[in-house]
Amino acid sequence: MNWKWFLPPAGLILALLALCQACPRIDYSGMVHVGEGQFEMGRDDCLSNEKPRHTVYLSGFWIDQREVTNAEYADFLNAGFQAGWVEIVDVETPSGSIKREVQVQEKRALYLAPYSHPTYQAQIDFVDDVFSAIEGKGQHPVAVSWYGAQAFCESIGKRLPTEAEWEYAAKGGHLNRVASGATDYFLYSGSADADSVAWHKNNAGGSAHQVGQLGPNEIDTYDMSGNMREWCSDWYDTEYYGVSPYENPQGPAEPEYPGQFLGKVMRGGSWRENTYPYEDEIDLELSIDPYRVRVTKRDYG
């Protein structure tokens, strides 16, 4: 299938990026075109799930420049609530407290404020039958589940990017450094200096930030390193790189049985990368990327 266009990330614990096929109703303002091209995906000197480095060819597509914000997602929820496919469900926690979750087409999308967790604070509220971002958080990336990200994309005729499309865009797409004659890609999306392009655990001050505040990469997308992790369409398979096709890889096929895969792919790292997927590779990872927001880092959720 020849994917033509792709929109970007709605921040969640992850953010959401979306691609779309030829769809005349799409507004391309705020998007950039990523030309077709070949690039090297992954790396051979880091975690085992980033290996082997392999060559991938991708058709061209469009991508949003910034992550989807709380304000934008609240507008989406309001439209769905009026149409009847968004609802509020009260869920009891193990401690006996109640948290309110938003379901989109009967799948959990997010929790409502004032829900708070050590790693996540809800930033959308629901008052007098209206969804809105809490004060001061309208331009911050929205924290949503994979289902919530997918539903948002579908509502505007788009889709989540594949993992390969995400990494190609993060590495600068057709304008990446390798194509321009440099020796290798930037470690982070748009720079070898994490502070200039990424909110990470050492500079974020304990939370995500408004979208688009730091420097862009070569194709003028923002926050593809750090701030919030971003969902991809692929199932997460630690060994997929060893069998990935050369042209337009779509990720593993649908799982054959429950638990075959750990979840869906998340990319880009976040403002709080405090956990390690492979305990025996901690020292190796930190020696290459102390902030853990490099463009080749793979996560799942």
* pLDDT mean over 232-258: 95
- Whether residues 182 and 291 fall in one domain: yes
Which amino acid belongs to residue 57? Y
With respect to residue 289, please indicate whether it lies within any of the assigned structural domains: yes
55-69, 161-175, 195-209, 266-280: least confidently modelled range: 266-280
83 class by beta-carbon count within 10 Å (0-12 exposed, 13-18 middle, 19+ buried): exposed
* pLDDT mean over 112-135: 93
- Whether residues 165 and 240 fall in one domain: yes
Q: What is the CATH number of the domain that holds 58?
A: 3.90.1580.10
Q: What proportions of the chain, in percent to the nearest 5, are helix, strand and coil? A: 20, 25, 55
The two tokens of residue 4 are 């033509």
- Global pTM reads 0.90
- Structural contact between residues 156 and 10, judged by C-beta atoms closer than 8 angstroms: no
With respect to residue 145, please indicate whether it lies within any of the assigned structural domains: no
* pLDDT mean over 244-267: 93
- Whether residues 19 and 167 fall in one domain: yes
pLDDT of 7 > 50? The answer is no
With respect to residue 105, please indicate whether it lies within any of the assigned structural domains: yes
* Mean pLDDT of the chain, nearest integer: 89
Helix (H) or strand (E) holding 269: none
DSSP label of 195: H
With respect to residue 295, please indicate whether it lies within any of the assigned structural domains: yes
With respect to residue 198, please indicate whether it lies within any of the assigned structural domains: yes
- Whether residues 40 and 121 fall in one domain: no
* pLDDT mean over 57-73: 96
**Size of the chain in residues:** 301
- Whether residues 76 and 222 fall in one domain: no
- Whether residues 55 and 86 fall in one domain: no
> Could you read off the pLDDT of 204-239 as tens digits, one per residue?
999 999 999 999 999 999 999 999 999 999 999 999
> Could you read off the pLDDT of 68-120 as tens digits, one per residue?
999 999 999 999 999 999 999 999 988 888 999 999 999 999 999 999 887 78
CA torsion sign for 101, 102, 106, 109 is: negative
Burial 238-266 (b: 16+ CB within 10 A, else e): bebbeebeeebbbbbeeeeeeeebeebbb
Domain C-terminal end among 138, 173, 193: 138
Three-class SS of residue 97? Answer: coil
pLDDT at 25: 66
- Whether residues 40 and 130 fall in one domain: no
- Whether residues 53 and 79 fall in one domain: no
With respect to residue 264, please indicate whether it lies within any of the assigned structural domains: yes
With respect to residue 292, please indicate whether it lies within any of the assigned structural domains: yes
φ, ψ dihedrals at 150, nearest 5°: -60, -45
- Whether residues 113 and 62 fall in one domain: no
12-21, 60-69, 232-241, 291-300: least confidently modelled range: 12-21
With respect to residue 146, please indicate whether it lies within any of the assigned structural domains: no
Q: What share of the chain has pLDDT > 70, as a percent?
A: 90
Measured from the Cβ of residue 178, the count of other Cβ atoms closer than 10 Å reads 14
pLDDT at 191: 96
> Could you read off the pLDDT of 163-203 as tens digits, one per residue?
999 999 999 999 998 877 777 899 999 999 999 999 999 99
The two tokens of residue 300 are 């799942």
- Whether residues 78 and 176 fall in one domain: no
Using only the alpha carbons of the chain, give its radius of gyration: 18
- Whether residues 102 and 194 fall in one domain: no
| Identity of the highest mean pLDDT range in 14-23, 144-153, 175-184 | 144-153
- CA–CA distance, 41 with 150 (Å, rounded to integer): 24
| Structural domain span for residue 107 | 70-138
| CA neighbor of 9 nearest in space, from 261, 195, 189 | 189
* pLDDT mean over 48-55: 96
CA 56 and chain centroid, separation: 20
- CA–CA distance, 49 with 167 (Å, rounded to integer): 14
- CA–CA distance, 243 with 106 (Å, rounded to integer): 35
- Whether residues 252 and 160 fall in one domain: yes
Q: How is 55-84 classified by DSSP, letter by letter? A: EEEE--EEEESSPBBHHHHHHHHHHHHHHT
Structural domain count of the chain: 2
CA 188 and chain centroid, separation: 15
pLDDT at 260: 87
